[in-house]
Structures are given as C-alpha cells and as structure tokens.
Structure 1
Amino acid sequence: MDRNEARKKVWEELRKVAKPDSRFHWNFAEFIADYEGSDQGAEFIRNLDIYKNARVIFITPDNNMERLREFAIKDKKTLLTTTYGINRGFQVIYPGDVPEGMEELATTLDGMEKFMKPISLQEIKSTLGKVDLLVTGASAITPSGIRFGKGHGYFDLEWAMLWEIQAVDSKTPVIAAGHDCQVVDIDIEITPYDTIVDYIVTPTRVINTNSNIPKPSQGVIWGKLEQGMIENIPPLKELYELKHR
C-alpha cells in the first residue's frame, strides 16, 4: 500500500469521528482534522516527562493541536509554531504574551494571530536555542513511527529547517497525535526526509515507538522542493540566501 492509498483508507474512517474545518469542511487533503477525544490525547502529552521538562515546544498549527497549544501557554512554555503552509514562516508566543483567561482564545488559529510574533531562523537560533519537543498532527502513523501528513511535506520541511540551525538533533523527541483509526500497521517505504516520531498519542493510549529508524540528518533537500517553495516560504528563502551568499 502506498501513502496515497493509506491516506484514503484512513480518511474514510476518520470522517466518522472528525470535526469539519470551517474553511475546508471534510477535505482532509487540505487540513489535519480535529476529532473526538483529542482533548484526552492532549492530557496524555501534558503528563509526559518530555513535555514537563520542555522549555521550548514546537506545535504545528493543526486543528487537533488546539488543546495542547492551550496547555503550553498555561504551563508557561515558549510556543513555537508556523502559519498554514508556512506561508508567513515561524511564529512564537512567549510566556506572558497571553493575558490570563485568554489562553483558550489564543490557541485557535484565528486567535493566535492576536498574540504570536514572527521569528526568523536566525532569531530562533540566537534567542531560543534548542527546541526541546516537537508535536504534530498526521494523516496516518505507523507503529514504527513513520508519519505522513496531507502530502505536502510541511512538517518534514519544518524539521529540516530547524535542523539546519541546530535547533533540533537526532535526540530531540517528536510526538505525533492522531485518532486511533489513524494508526495503521502497514509496510511503507521510508524516504530520507521522513521525520520519525518517538511517541504516538491517541485519545486512548500513548505508544512508545522504540523506533530504530533514524531521524533525517541532512537538513533541507533542496532538489526535492516543490516549485515556488523557496519564494513563498520566508524561512526557506532566508536559509537559501544564507547558503548562497
């Protein structure tokens, strides 16, 4: 089974438990869905030591990440994220940026706009240093830790850009959150840019993948980028210009 077949199979089941998006409705090719029980999954993550010990957490702007973003703000973490499609690059919310009582508003995709600030790769490197934990949604995840999203490769690209500035390394933990129906035990080809996850968190369980598959360590694979990405993704353009001075 290839990735597109796996996505379609999962999406059929996901529709039974997913919450529609306000813009894309049920088109799972355009967004990572929220679903019944995602709040419980966020609680599971909050109770993990890798979350408790993290100072800087990267959380994707996926629909199922809303409660976790709220926890991160309440728990005084530095929250690093991106805008949809990385079109406006990386964004940051520092502890104290969100007034008490407004955490829930600040974690919706529209509400975040009121509080987050753009941050360049150079600023991430100089002011944040290391990212202690990354959490992402997914279209599907295998028990061995291979995750794939909508098919655009944005999370793998985010990892690669952070790797380029030494903000992440092979030991940086990665969590994929999804519904139980998104965990699929299939044989899937691994690509050099697959960001392997250490934990899979669903509404019912936490799975330690114990994966022996290494995380990507080559940074951005420039030849694999889609046309227009360098021009349209600010941190990618920043990185390209740094490398081609």
Structure 2
Amino acid sequence: MSESIASTASIDDTARWAGRNRDKDALRDEIWFALERMEVGVGPVRSRIPNFVGADRAAWRLAATPMWRDAGVVKCNPDPPQIPLRLRALYAGKQLYMPVPELERPYPFVLLDPVQLAARQVSFELAATSQGGVAHGVPVQFEELPTLDLVVVGCVAVTRLGGRTGKGGGFADLELGIFRELGKLSAGTPIVTTVHSCQVVAAQRLVMLGHDSALDWVFTEEESIRTDTPYPQPHGVAWDQVEPDQYRDIPFLGELRGRIEQGGAPKGSVGLSDRDI
C-alpha cells in the first residue's frame, strides 16, 4: 500500500517495513539515493518521508491554488517536508488535523486550531512541527473528525498519473480507507502531496493496485502537476487484510474496527496486506 503517518521514528524502526514489496523497496532506495547524490535532501532521508530543498516553494505552489484557498479543514501528515504547509494552514486560519506519528497514541489525530493556539500563546512555528503539534494539539478520534476539504499525504515516490508510495508502513492508505468508511472523505476531496522533482518517476515504475489511493495533485519546487488520475479510489478498509503488526502497534485500531462494524459502516476494499505496501 503506501503510508503517511510518520517519519519521526528512527531508521531502525522504519526499516522493519522493508521486504513487504521488493519493487517498491528498490524504488524507495533509488529515490533516497538520488536525494543524497543530488544533495537536495534536508537531514537524513532514508527510511522516512524525506525532507528536501525547495519544500517551502512546493508548499507555496499548493497554497496558490483555489482548492487551498477554499479549504477550511485540512488534514496534513506530520512529516518534516510538510512543515511549510502546516505553517501556512495555521497562518491562513484553517482547522488543521495532524496524524500522530505512526498512530502510536490512544488517539490518532490532534486538532491544531489557530485561534486556540494563539489564545494559549503557542507559536504557530512550534505547533507546525510534529512534536509541537502532538504536545499542543487537541486529541481527536477518527469519528470526531469533520468532513475534510483537503488531504495532504507524505510520499517517497510519485508519478504524474497519481501513483504514490510512502516509506512502506501502510499508514496513509489505512488512514484514507478509514476516512472513507466514516464518510469523512468525499469522492471530490483532493488528495495531494509535495515532493522534490527527483521523486517524480515514470508511471510504469510504480504499480497501483485497486486498494491503493491515488493523488489528484503533485507539487514540486519546479511545477504543479494535475494528475487527472486514471486510478479509481478505494471505498474503505478490508479489515481481514490488516496486518497483525498493525493491530499490535496501533493501540486503538482493534477498538475502532469494532466501532465501525457495530455502526454498520459498509465494508470497503482496502487492506494492509504485504502486496499493498
């Protein structure tokens, strides 16, 4: 599948996902090497959603679009390359929902409300970091999320047709599947990312399966790419395909599944099998 939620874990932690899909493992290694060789990575890039030179410009490109202007509720991954986006969202007065890195807390999200942060004298620059966001945000469960106007996910590699992969943990597609199960993500809600231009690869390099969520837009330091993706978006989560380590490592996941199924939510088609990463 792909990922989103986390990049603050150590390399040893994130390396545990290698081996689930060898083709995507090889592609991720290629991208991380390219960022290092071109000296456009910021900080360590391997085994994580890599930060890059020009992340602020990529964020500027997204912030110049009508979909950003019109979005009152934004979900954005907690990774370093998206700090400029989270900061822009707060200064623009948007309600910002940030996933807890790797869903490792009893709650999956924090709400970063710029009005509340200002009233508590928490700087937006601090709140825009993953650590600051978790420390100063308001804990939120999946069911408490409002309908999302815009979804930003972290990526290691992308294509011009909307293909994507993260660092291999499967978090983003699980997250997006739950959004759809709960009616938090409409069919027209844009799914976007910001990456370095060297992270954009040929479509044939990144195979998309039926349970993978595709991107609508990709923003780099050089261009804005509307994908007009040909890939159909999944409808939800295939819970029988969620990996045992996901239930083990995500404290609330089993309880959330029970709540969704008791509520009669339609069963979807996205899982976290090894093929999906």
Fold match (TM-score > 0.5): yes
Paired residue secondary structure (2:30)? helix
Q: How far apart are 1:221 and its partner, in Å?
A: 1.7
> In the alignment, what sits opposite 1:207?
225
Report the Cα distance in structure 1 between the residues aligned to 2:92 and 2:25, rounded to whole angstroms. 37
Tell me the matched-pair count: 234
- Structure 2 gaps of 5+ residues are 1-21, 263-277
* RMSD of Structure 2 on Structure 1 (CA): 1.8
* 2:152 aligned with 1:135: yes
Alignment counterpart, residue 144 of structure 2, candidates 123, 148, 163: 123
Paired residue secondary structure (1:152)? coil
Higher mean displacement: 169-178 or 187-196: 187-196
* 2:169 aligned with 1:152: yes
Query: 1:231·1:237 contact (CA, 8 Å) conserved in 2?
Result: no
Identity across the alignment (%): 29
Higher mean displacement: 89-98 or 77-86: 89-98
Higher mean displacement: 147-156 or 101-110: 101-110
Please list the CA deviations of residues 25-67 of structure 1 after superposition, one character each: whole Å capped at 9, or x if unmatched: 34x22x2121100001111111111111011100001110001
* 2:32 aligned with 1:11: yes
Q: How far apart are 1:231 and its partner, in Å?
A: 4.4
Alignment counterpart, residue 98 of structure 1, candidates 117, 121, 126: 117
* 2:214 aligned with 1:196: yes
> In the alignment, what sits opposite 1:73?
90
> In the alignment, what sits opposite 1:64?
81
Q: Give the residue type in structure 2 aligned to 1:17.
A: V
Q: Which has the higher helix share?
A: 2
Report the Cα distance in structure 2 between the residues aligned to 1:235 and 1:144, rounded to whole angstroms. 34
Change (3 A) 1:50 1:235: farther
Q: Give the residue type in structure 2 aligned to 1:2.
A: D
Q: How far apart are 1:226 and its partner, in Å?
A: 1.8
Report the Cα distance in structure 1 between the residues aligned to 2:210 and 2:251, rounded to whole angstroms. 23
Change (3 A) 1:147 1:35: same
Please list the CA deviations of residues 108-153 of structure 1 after superposition, one character each: whole Å capped at 9, or x if unmatched: 12221332111112211xxx2x101001221100111011000111
Q: How far apart are 1:101 and its partner, in Å?
A: 7.7
Query: 1:131·1:167 contact (CA, 8 Å) conserved in 2?
Result: yes
Tell me the TM-score normalized by structure 1: 0.89
Q: How far apart are 1:10 and its partner, in Å?
A: 1.1
- For residues 27-42 of structure 1, what are the structure 2 equivalents within 5 Å? 28-29=46-47, 31-42=48-59
Paired residue secondary structure (1:98)? helix
> In the alignment, what sits opposite 1:47?
64
Query: 1:146·1:197 contact (CA, 8 Å) conserved in 2?
Result: yes
Please list the CA deviations of residues 68-122 of structure 1 after superposition, one character each: whole Å capped at 9, or x if unmatched: 1001111111101111111121221123122278111111122213321111122
Structure 1: 4+ residue segments shifted above 6 A: none
* 2:231 aligned with 1:179: no
Report the Cα distance in structure 2 between the residues aligned to 1:235 and 1:146, rounded to whole angstroms. 29
Q: Give the residue type in structure 1 aligned to 2:41.
A: A
Query: 2:127·2:133 contact (CA, 8 Å) conserved in 1?
Result: yes
Query: 1:157·1:220 contact (CA, 8 Å) conserved in 2?
Result: yes
